[in-house]
Structure 1
Amino acid sequence: MKNDEAVKIYEDNQGSIALVKNPEFHKRTKHIDIRYHFVREKVADGQVLLQYCATKDMKADLMTKPISAAQFDYLRGMLGIKTPRSAGSSGSVVDDAPRHDVL
């Protein structure tokens, strides 16, 4: 399998990336669950590609962790989600799209 076909896993923990890529088995890693070894095999086979992603750029955090408003805006922007242009006096979003009556 080519790297462009491999499943990319973005990870912000460089230690875990090193552990997966290191073929040696150490005493300190004997407790690791069998699922970890599955990922290690898939990386070795080229089916999975681990890629480092800085914690501040981890898009998954937007929906999985409590983050600041500034970080929320930053990650939302990375996903291509734009903020509403303006809000009406009632607090509803004003939309320039044409309105259609619903019967």
Structure 2
Amino acid sequence: MDAEYMAMAEVSLEVIWVIDLLSELGMNVLISTSYKINAAAIKLSKNDNVSERSKHIDIMYHICRELSEKQIIDFVYVASDRNAADLFTKNLQSNTVQKFCGVTGLL
């Protein structure tokens, strides 16, 4: 959960950069959606209670929580069997590879 939460913070910084760029180009972005497979990290981003398991996470990583509260970015859970990004990060069975290649347009 720690690594996923830290990755969510990095994504949040990138989203801010893209929103700023688009606003300079005259485009208006209302909300950005980021799909994650770690439900615990998403729950931590939506809950401001600090527990024994999360108190060690540095405060700089809580930007995803702040942006979620301000409704600038929305973190949505996606099940692993529907996550096309696994095509690039995991060793998958051939039928799953074909399915995800079709989804991503690689076939």
Partner of 2:18: none
Aligned match of 1:32 in 57, 65, 69? 57
The size of the alignment, in residue pairs, is 79
Q: Secondary structure at the match of 2:53?
A: helix
Q: Separation in 1 of the partners of 2:56 and 2:46?
A: 17
Q: Secondary structure at the match of 2:48?
A: coil
Q: Separation in 2 of the partners of 1:9 and 1:34?
A: 21
Cα drift, residue 35 of structure 1:
4.4
Q: Which has the larger share of helix? A: 2
Instruction: Return 5+ residue gaps in structure 1 as ranges.
Output: 83-103
Q: Separation in 2 of the partners of 1:55 and 1:69?
A: 16
| Percent identity over paired residues | 32
- 1:7 aligns to 2:6 (yes or no): no
The TM-score normalised by the length of structure 1 is 0.66
Aligned match of 2:103 in 62, 78, 93? 78
Q: Separation in 1 of the partners of 2:89 and 2:60?
A: 21
Instruction: Return 5+ residue gaps in structure 2 as ranges.
Output: 1-28
1:37-94, Cα deviation, whole Å (9 max, x unpaired): 0111111111110111110111111112221211111111112333xxxxxxxxxxxx
Q: Separation in 2 of the partners of 1:36 and 1:19?
A: 11
The TM-score normalised by the length of structure 2 is 0.64
The structure that has the greater radius of gyration is 1
Cα drift, residue 13 of structure 1:
1.6
Q: Separation in 2 of the partners of 1:65 and 1:19?
A: 25
Aligned-residue RMSD, C-alpha:
1.7
Q: Structure 1 runs of 4+ off > 4 angstroms? A: none
